[in-house]
Structure 1
Amino acid sequence: MIQVEKYWEDLTVLQVNREAPRAYFIPYSEAQTALANKRARSPFYQTLNGGWKFKYHTSVKDVEDGFYAASADVSGWDDLLVPSCWQTNGYDQLHYTNVNYPIPCDPPYVPNENPAGLYARDFNISETWDEKDAYVVFEGVNSCFYLWVNGQFVGYSQGSRVPAEFNLAPYLKRGKNRIALMVLKWCDGTYIEDQDLWRFSGIFRDVYLLARNPVHIRDVFNRQELSEDFSKAVLRCELETTGQLEVKAELRDAKGSLIGEGATSLDGKGTIELNLANPELWNAERPYLYQLYVYGGGEVLRFPVGFRKVEITEGVFKINGAAIKLKGVNRHDSHPELGQTIPLNHMIKDLNLMKRHNVNTIRTSHYPNDPRFLELCNEYGFYVIDEADLECHGVDRIGDYHLLTKNPEWEQAFLDRMERMVERDKNQPSIVIWSLGNESGYDKNHMSMARWTKARDASRPVHYEGVDPRYNGSKDTEVIDMEGRMYTSVADIEKYALDEASTKPMFLCEYSHAMGNGPGDLKDYWDVIYKYPLLMGGCVWEWTDHGIKTETAEGIPFFAYGGDFGDQPNDGNFCIDGLVSPDRKPHTGLLELKKVIAPIRIEAEDLSKGVIKITNLYDFIDLSQIALYWKIEKDGQTVEQGELKQAVAAPQQSIMAFIPYTIPQASESRYFLTLSCRSKQDTRWSEAGYEISFEQFELPVAIEVAASEDGNKQSQPSRIRTIQVEQQGHNLVVEGFDFVHRFDLYAGTFTSVSKHGVEMLQAPVGFNIWRAPTDNDRRIKHDWMDQGYDRATMHVYRSEVTKQSETSVEVTVDFSLGGYMKLPLLHGTAQWSIDGTGEISLQVKVKVRESLSFLPRFGLQLAMPHGAEEVEYFGFGPHESYVDKRQSVRKGKYLLTVDEMFQNYIMPQENGSRYGTEWAIVSNEQGMGLKFASPDGEFSFNAAHYTPADLTTALHSHELSKRKETIIQLDYKMSGVGSNSCGPELLEQYRLDEKEFEFGLTILPLFKEDE
């Protein structure tokens, strides 16, 4: 057994021999290579990424003493790529848990059987480094580690997601050296790293060596001051050296021109002050960066400088004097194959996607990200909430949410997380808010963190959501600069904004939970956020699904979630809660967010005259970079289009614009105006012509009923043929000129619908109230199932022919829907009629039992035979939409396949419905099928190869068995999707909560090519 001090359970030891935290930088030999920001081009940088020898032990007690010796034989160890996570390489347990600790909650103690990973690597030191000190930097190691070089103990560190730096000069020799680590899965720091994520271990971020002269610049803090009118800027470069050193600083603009310089001689601490007139300001819309070069000790250090002022005045969050709305997302480090090891190109992919979807803010939930990610945010233009690696949510499970933060023994552990983050990231202009961590209660230790932060950097406000009064923490919240809230309802944030006692801006650090088919309340939030200056915006939870790419025993690939690896405790698919899939394919929720937070608003002013109002919601740039295109569609077909040459709207200003279209006063057709806002030029994240946003309006054209050949107005076909009606037992057979329909009087429904001998039904038609629960139904579904919604079947009280003529027949059915052991859920009367064209009409009256929860849906479900793959409809598209999730769709005529209607969620659930459908045709490729419409105007429509029961039963998408038949849903209404997986309950206006309603449908068998 290895003989080491048991630091991993000692709150008084957070590190041994670790260097004091400092700003992130890489020393270069010249300014040109420093500007390129390619670390490997620096002669003072040497990567230790790559192949390491690795040995895994299930318990630290099994680690052999002396494994770290320079002469130890590690040839029999495994090969492991660094950086990486053990668990994604086949070691230990892949484990997802949210709140619950994966260990007994006995802080600061962790299990005796503490898994350990041993790392060893031989490396060479260049002769050019002979006169220099070599430092090793570990950007991220989870959760703690012991370090040896050439058999000598160097030090210890914990704090997984902030760097640990050690001076190796006393231990290195010329030529070959050996570095060895023992990484432990758990330590006392585990109790404050209880974030909602997969629990990974190992050296998961970059490792490298830096060569520094014995006397060098140890730290740089670039403080800035802007005059009140922003016409003058002062940059104070606060320096710390390890000895007597001549230091020079140069400030260059984005073109590389020298605009300021200064020099000083110092031994320890000193300042170089640079003054600048009329500075270009940095913001997320125009992220202008100056470059500061600091020379000293034969090195060049480069720092991006973005001049900006962050302040809160009269309860309003401002940047550069402008009131800002933070349109953000929460982002975890998450890769479907590499876990928390995030390659640079993967970071860029995330940022490109965010920019393309109008996101301007990132909360680094819930720990500091790789420093290169922050550098990218500087360049792309994002407001960043930098969050300390601190969450102890699991103590809530033992009944004291504030257990650790009110315990003075944990104060240094809390402070250590904040200090190391702030010191590392203090020079990143993209960071506009410091956050004290997440879900850890609130008391004295958080106050210490906040006070230290304000003393060190007063230029950024401090956030912490744990001060929410609902948590009953300390009432002393003076050190927190904003009212941070999670999943507060729309009504409650408006109540806060209207309360005269509210003095701090409210930041929704998490809202609108994007799990599965959702979120469904984005517009409701943003209507209120835009309305009140006190509401500064928020970050949707969350950016990405945390699925692990794996495969079944049969080799079928899928994304796994909690419990799929036998992990206990686990929180199932609660990690599948993002706006994009693990492989970064946008969900429809991201498209919805893009539209809701779009930086351009277009409103109808007088559509009869072509007048619209355009509002620029950007804070700092005008709309000169946006082209606005318009088109008029007549019944889904484009009849007129053009580009609008409008005046340019200044930031936060509106203009009126005229569109020169022509429309009739009345028509049999519907006319829609669609406006598309597109980028004029290529950007780093999009191509020219990329759509930033759109808006659509129905034009004020009076509906004119079609005229018959003799000039009479009529809405029915000009020739109704006769029918023959025959009762065969309990079957009613209705035969017309080219159709035969069968209605089962005993079952109260149609069993066959055919035209020209082509059968259109695969199974009887039935009423349906059940939908496969969405993730956001995870709470209400228990009530639904308890009441029997999922097993509701129809009982027929009466089914008989009530009207009959030569050209039509009517059948009335009195029925109820209910599940076993329960009273009927609803009673209804359905009037079915068939006319000589073969068209089936339904008019149903429904009365729902008073005591019930709102219904998931109400409508018809039917199955069409194999081959019914073509879907044509007029309604909202092209993707799924719901009553509360329909801002990102536009009304038009769409032609899709059944498979294209399907939205494939990792956890199968209700998907693919089209809200606001006016008519739909489902047919085979020859156009033989059924047309659905509603005399009431609109209905919700879906076509899929899965029933609601199929989607309810399956736990993963690969468990779905695709049916040959096509399942059609024709809904009077469907309840919205909301965000109640973690957010507030579904808003009342989006619930199907009517106790009495009527619904009409028509079903017409047709051959499209003959129409």
Structure 2
Amino acid sequence: MNLQPYWEQPTLLHEHREEPRASYIPYGDIEGARADKRSRSPWYQTLNGSWKFSYRPRAKDVTTEWVDESFDATSWDDLLVPSCWQVQGYDQLQYTNVNYPFPYDPPYVPDDNPAGLYVREFRIGEEWTGKDTHIMFEGVNACFYLWINGSYAGYSQGSRVPAEFNISPYVRQGSNKIAVMVLKWCDGSYLEDQDQWRYTGIFRDVYLLARDSAHIRDVFCRTQLDEKLQSAQLHIELDTTGSTTVALQLSNREGQKLLTEQAEMNGKETISLQIDSPTLWNAEHPYLYELVISSGEEVLRFKVGFRQVEIKDGVFYINGQDVKLKGVNRHDSHPELGQTIPLQHMIEDLKLMKRHNINTIRTSHYPNDPRFLDLCDEFGFYVIDEADLESHGDFSLHYGMKNSKALPNLPEWKEAFLERQVRMVERDKNHASVIIWSLGNESFYGPNHIAMAEWTQQRDETRLVHYEGAAHDPDHMQDQSSLDMESRMYMSVADLEAYAQNDQNKKPMLLCEYSHAMGNGPGDLKDYWEVMYAYPKLMGGCVWEWVDHGIKTVTEDGKPFFAYGGDFGEKPHDGNFCIDGLVSPVRKPNIGLLELKEVYAPLTIEAVDAAQGKLKLTNRYDFSSLSKLTLRYRLQAEGTLLQQGELAAPTLAPHESTEFVVPINLPSIHEAVDLELSCILNEELPWADAGYALAHVQFEVKPRTVERFTRPLLPTRAVHALEQGNTLVMEGFDFKHTFDLSLGTFVGMTKHGVHMLAAPAQFQVWRAPIDNDRNEKHAWQGQGLHRAVAKIYRAEWEQLSAKQVTIKVHYSLGGYSIRNILQGMAEWTVDSRGDITLKTNVEIKEGIDFLPRFGLQLTMPKGNEAVTYYGLGPHESYIDKKLSVKRDVYRTSVDQMHVDYIMPQENGSRYSTEWAVVSNLLGMGLRFTAADSFSFNASHFTPEDLTKAGHNVELVRRDETIVHVDYKMSGVGSNSCGPRLMEKYQFNEKSFTFEVKIQPIFTEDE
């Protein structure tokens, strides 16, 4: 038997494959269908499990004797199906973003095209006698050939949509043999160039179905609401394979039968049902009706949600309400299984999203497992369902070219484009959660996309059509009338607002990707949503992306870590660009997700007169009151609880605002007083327990009235200074400090003989680049920031009184081969208590756009592990990443302050700190206070350590504690892929004064 090389023929997409249909499983009775467990159907038989497997490096070298029934494959390997063969030890693990992993030569792929040969036995029992036998592959990457009992049964490509075959002519009662050959690449791989790990194999479920010879082949449930949303039509389009009696039963969620219908059918026919006063489906109240359809010995069950999706006057509406899509992009990703996703894993993803106020998912960039959409229907999510189509490598090669030979423009590729849309729409058309069909991602824009859009609108007028790639046709050289919205990636906040303000822009705007959540970020979420809420024309958007795509592995010496691109020696690769999610590979929320939770919160609380407890509340729900929420408040002063209580959330319709008063009593104290409110669930929901906090906000209601920076000196004590060579020694009652005049800094600080410094203090302008610094770090490195050292021009000291010594240092910072970065004068003062005050005036040289940071770095000896601070916490915060923190007194440790990013980078800083103490466990250490709040960090890694390491497992923990007291640090933004850091978050001051006090202490209350 000769193998036909279908894998390089873009017009040959399948052979003997069934027409696409809606996703369903036929059951034997209503009870089995309601159980929603596939294994309870007598007409279902899984083929998941252990298969015999042989990996072959070249498909062209494979002969077909192994498909014969007589071939003995017992010596082959055992491979679990479903699975991706790369995570099972075969072939090459590879992560690439834009670039194709093979030479660009469409439709051809390399001759060294790996193939996986799969073989197993299965049995058909007597109960299937007289039935047609179908086999369903829910996902196979990239293409495959099928044989049953030695007979060729078909071919299919298109990795993430189902392929169904009627194998009745080839099967028999009793034992049967199935053989499948899967190829790594085919011409379709040019359309599957998504930003992801490149996996191969039978990676989703495989199963058999027994069907009546005359059965219901397809079902399409369309819902239509009247103008007042008070009555609905359910149009049920049925397609049968022959003459059969069809019975329909519609029930509500409570199990009450509403309508029944029976009809004789043969072929396609539509049955319409009228429902008065329907309960509508939306993401906040995902109410689903049950439709049961019976025919012969089969029972089909569908969940039906009545909802209306439309655009009116440039505004996006669901069920007559303008809605904001608060979304994320989600890949199928598992740290051990690759793209094979267990059902419980999907459930945990959705629960986690719900708990963080996410209401929308873009299935980037392909249809997910069909069970995922069942869950979205039930939990309540709006889904942008995206076709398995991305030709990013082709797009980048043709970008900017007119009349290019890009694939969307080539007629011979039209059917390949169109079929991917058709198969997705037909599979997912009965899901209420799907509100928008997407034509794919980053594939340029041409006639082939237009054919997809036009077919989609004709097939399903109840949903909208999206495609961001049309943005790369700004002059509308191609027809965009079939696209219902404008869509952009990583649009700046300013450009987003400009679009909304331009009356010439008639379509609503969706940011299908924004706020790139890579590493220590994102830092621009609040800015986007201030604009989103301000303009009805803006639909919302989806953060890129949900999860870090690290692969769980171990180093040679057995240390576990998450691998990224290049860790397996693959070429090409895109490094850690796959580590860009809101959650870790094991679904631990990154701090970026906590920030997003606050931005997507179901209510907004603003101060009207905070001192009087007078606040303004806005209901951000689209369809809900606030009845499920309770407001819990706390009044506190620097860690001391003054008052607490609970209030019922005001009665408020969606999108409305009201003022309310929290009954607080302000005390007569010197400390600053803060009012904190938390939005608490007062009942249990499927995704969260009662008492779970959906949002929080904090207001300063009383400012501090006494300056904390200064302390009165003790009248009986003095400080004595003695210059010994280049060293100035200053001693007092219980301290001894050492200043190196040639280095221009302190090299020793002691109290009662306890050493507080392990290395000279120094000024620091460098931070270990975060992922969002990737476009700035080259400029910073070119300016020498990473190698900056101090030049001391002169250091002078004087003692004007017995209680004070002053040292003045004129210095600059610079690196070899380049101009100095800055010039400054530092004035150090030591008083009779041993307190050290630094005041430095700094001038930044021309050509420095903005600095990562400026501050003082101190190295404290081993044992200084305890940290107490008054500022924002409990986790890291930056000038543009502080929505999920609150001001309080926090007690933590140096290790707990570290954020263990997979790719090491700047982390753990606490923005707006008022004071901090780093000490040993007995409270012996240093206390830091500033005239103004400062950014504070304590770590066991220097910025150089973090810069040098490529993976967190490479970090070597220092015994010493590295303390940073920063005047300022630039924000984190989302510039790893998004727009440049907003100017207001850049540390771009050209001159400034920084003042900080360092106090050696033995107890925190000194």
Both structures adopt the same fold (TM-score exceeding 0.5): yes
The residue matched to 1:667 in structure 2 has which SS? coil
Counterpart contact for 1:720–1:835, Cα < 8 Å: no
Aligned to 2:556: 553
Alignment of 1:904-919 (within 5 A): 904-919=900-915
Aligned to 1:845: 841
Separation in structure 2 between the aligned mates of residue 317 and residue 420 of structure 1, nearest angstrom: 26
User: 1:1004/1:415 Cα in 2 relative to 1: closer, same or farther (>3 Å)?
Assistant: same
Aligned to 1:462: 465
Aligned to 1:301: 300
Q: Per-residue displacement from partner, 1:587-623 (whole Å, max 9, x unpaired)?
A: 0000000011111111112223222112110000111
Separation in structure 2 between the aligned mates of residue 382 and residue 720 of structure 1, nearest angstrom: 70
Q: Per-residue displacement from partner, 1:214-268 (whole Å, max 9, x unpaired)?
A: 0000000001110111110110111000011111111111111101121211110
Aligned to 2:946: 951
Matched to 1:673, the amino acid is L
Aligned to 1:21: 20
Separation in structure 1 between the aligned mates of residue 725 and residue 911 of structure 2, nearest angstrom: 40
Aligned to 1:883: 879
Counterpart contact for 1:735–1:741, Cα < 8 Å: yes
**1:469 offset after TM fit, Å?**
4.0
> Unpaired segments of 5 or more residues in structure 1?
707-712
Counterpart contact for 1:442–1:474, Cα < 8 Å: no
Counterpart contact for 2:772–2:974, Cα < 8 Å: yes
> Unpaired segments of 5 or more residues in structure 2?
none
Counterpart contact for 1:668–1:705, Cα < 8 Å: no
Separation in structure 2 between the aligned mates of residue 662 and residue 570 of structure 1, nearest angstrom: 60
Counterpart contact for 1:441–1:471, Cα < 8 Å: no
Aligned to 1:977: 972
- 2:680 aligned with 1:684: no
User: 1:46/1:865 Cα in 2 relative to 1: closer, same or farther (>3 Å)?
Assistant: same
**1:780 offset after TM fit, Å?**
0.7
Matched to 2:831, the amino acid is D
Alignment of 1:304-323 (within 5 A): 304-323=303-322
Matched to 1:135, the amino acid is H
Aligned to 1:710: none
Separation in structure 1 between the aligned mates of residue 230 and residue 946 of structure 2, nearest angstrom: 61
Separation in structure 1 between the aligned mates of residue 976 and residue 658 of structure 2, nearest angstrom: 40
**1:272 offset after TM fit, Å?**
1.7
Alignment of 1:29-40 (within 5 A): 29-40=28-39
Counterpart contact for 2:630–2:649, Cα < 8 Å: no
Separation in structure 1 between the aligned mates of residue 886 and residue 549 of structure 2, nearest angstrom: 30
For this pair of structures, how many residues does the alignment match? 1002
**1:670 offset after TM fit, Å?**
1.2
User: 1:249/1:1010 Cα in 2 relative to 1: closer, same or farther (>3 Å)?
Assistant: closer
Aligned to 1:51: 50
**1:839 offset after TM fit, Å?**
0.6
Bigger shift: residues 648-657 or 427-436: 648-657
Q: Per-residue displacement from partner, 1:726-776 (whole Å, max 9, x unpaired)?
A: 111111111011100001111000000111110000111000000000000
Aligned to 2:393: 394
Q: Per-residue displacement from partner, 1:949-1003 (whole Å, max 9, x unpaired)?
A: 0000000000000000000011000000110000000000011111111110000
Alignment of 1:85-234 (within 5 A): 85-234=84-233
The residue matched to 2:188 in structure 1 has which SS? helix
Separation in structure 1 between the aligned mates of residue 707 and residue 155 of structure 2, nearest angstrom: 82
Counterpart contact for 1:264–1:271, Cα < 8 Å: no
**1:644 offset after TM fit, Å?**
1.2
Q: Per-residue displacement from partner, 1:355-374 (whole Å, max 9, x unpaired)?
A: 11110000000000000000
- 2:807 aligned with 1:811: yes
Matched to 2:957, the amino acid is K
Aligned to 1:427: 430
Aligned to 2:10: 11
**1:786 offset after TM fit, Å?**
1.0
Separation in structure 2 between the aligned mates of residue 161 and residue 232 of structure 1, nearest angstrom: 37
Matched to 1:1003, the amino acid is I
Bigger shift: residues 6-15 or 445-454: 6-15
Q: Percent identity?
A: 58
Separation in structure 1 between the aligned mates of residue 22 and residue 594 of structure 2, nearest angstrom: 37
User: 1:1010/1:658 Cα in 2 relative to 1: closer, same or farther (>3 Å)?
Assistant: closer
Aligned to 2:586: 583
Separation in structure 1 between the aligned mates of residue 454 and residue 50 of structure 2, nearest angstrom: 43
The residue matched to 2:378 in structure 1 has which SS? helix
**1:1008 offset after TM fit, Å?**
1.3
Separation in structure 2 between the aligned mates of residue 470 and residue 608 of structure 1, nearest angstrom: 53
Aligned to 1:942: 937
1:626 to 626, 629, 640: 629
The residue matched to 2:457 in structure 1 has which SS? helix
Counterpart contact for 1:784–1:853, Cα < 8 Å: no
Q: Per-residue displacement from partner, 1:2-44 (whole Å, max 9, x unpaired)?
A: 7211100011210000000000000111112211210100001
Q: Per-residue displacement from partner, 1:61-93 (whole Å, max 9, x unpaired)?
A: 332321111111111110000000010000000
Counterpart contact for 1:263–1:272, Cα < 8 Å: no
Aligned to 1:861: 857
- 2:280 aligned with 1:281: yes
User: 1:681/1:871 Cα in 2 relative to 1: closer, same or farther (>3 Å)?
Assistant: same
Matched to 2:209, the amino acid is L
Q: Per-residue displacement from partner, 1:559-590 (whole Å, max 9, x unpaired)?
A: 00000000000000000000011111110000
**TM-score normalised to structure 1 length:** 0.98
User: 1:646/1:535 Cα in 2 relative to 1: closer, same or farther (>3 Å)?
Assistant: closer
Separation in structure 2 between the aligned mates of residue 132 and residue 182 of structure 1, nearest angstrom: 27
- 2:446 aligned with 1:451: no
The residue matched to 2:24 in structure 1 has which SS? coil
Aligned to 1:709: none
**1:661 offset after TM fit, Å?**
1.4
Q: Per-residue displacement from partner, 1:891-938 (whole Å, max 9, x unpaired)?
A: 110000001100000000000000000000000000000000101x20
**1:312 offset after TM fit, Å?**
0.5
Aligned to 2:832: 836
**1:803 offset after TM fit, Å?**
4.6
Aligned to 1:531: 534
**1:656 offset after TM fit, Å?**
2.1
- 2:599 aligned with 1:599: no
The residue matched to 1:527 in structure 2 has which SS? helix
Separation in structure 2 between the aligned mates of residue 858 and residue 363 of structure 1, nearest angstrom: 40
Separation in structure 1 between the aligned mates of residue 795 and residue 482 of structure 2, nearest angstrom: 71
Matched to 2:962, the amino acid is I
Separation in structure 2 between the aligned mates of residue 437 and residue 1003 of structure 1, nearest angstrom: 57
Q: Per-residue displacement from partner, 1:42-64 (whole Å, max 9, x unpaired)?
A: 00110000000000001113323
**1:804 offset after TM fit, Å?**
3.0
1:757 to 741, 753, 768: 753
Separation in structure 2 between the aligned mates of residue 66 and residue 505 of structure 1, nearest angstrom: 58
**1:660 offset after TM fit, Å?**
1.4
2:512 to 494, 509, 514: 509
User: 1:86/1:510 Cα in 2 relative to 1: closer, same or farther (>3 Å)?
Assistant: same
Aligned to 1:798: 794
Counterpart contact for 1:441–1:473, Cα < 8 Å: no
Counterpart contact for 1:317–1:536, Cα < 8 Å: yes
Separation in structure 2 between the aligned mates of residue 646 and residue 969 of structure 1, nearest angstrom: 42
**1:474 offset after TM fit, Å?**
3.6
1:1005 to 996, 1000, 1004: 1000
Alignment of 1:661-700 (within 5 A): 661-664=664-667, 666-700=668-702
Separation in structure 2 between the aligned mates of residue 60 and residue 11 of structure 1, nearest angstrom: 18
Counterpart contact for 2:444–2:472, Cα < 8 Å: no
User: 1:835/1:61 Cα in 2 relative to 1: closer, same or farther (>3 Å)?
Assistant: same
Separation in structure 1 between the aligned mates of residue 550 and residue 637 of structure 2, nearest angstrom: 44
User: 1:131/1:827 Cα in 2 relative to 1: closer, same or farther (>3 Å)?
Assistant: same
Aligned to 1:778: 774
- 2:315 aligned with 1:329: no
Aligned to 2:245: 246
Counterpart contact for 1:33–1:41, Cα < 8 Å: yes
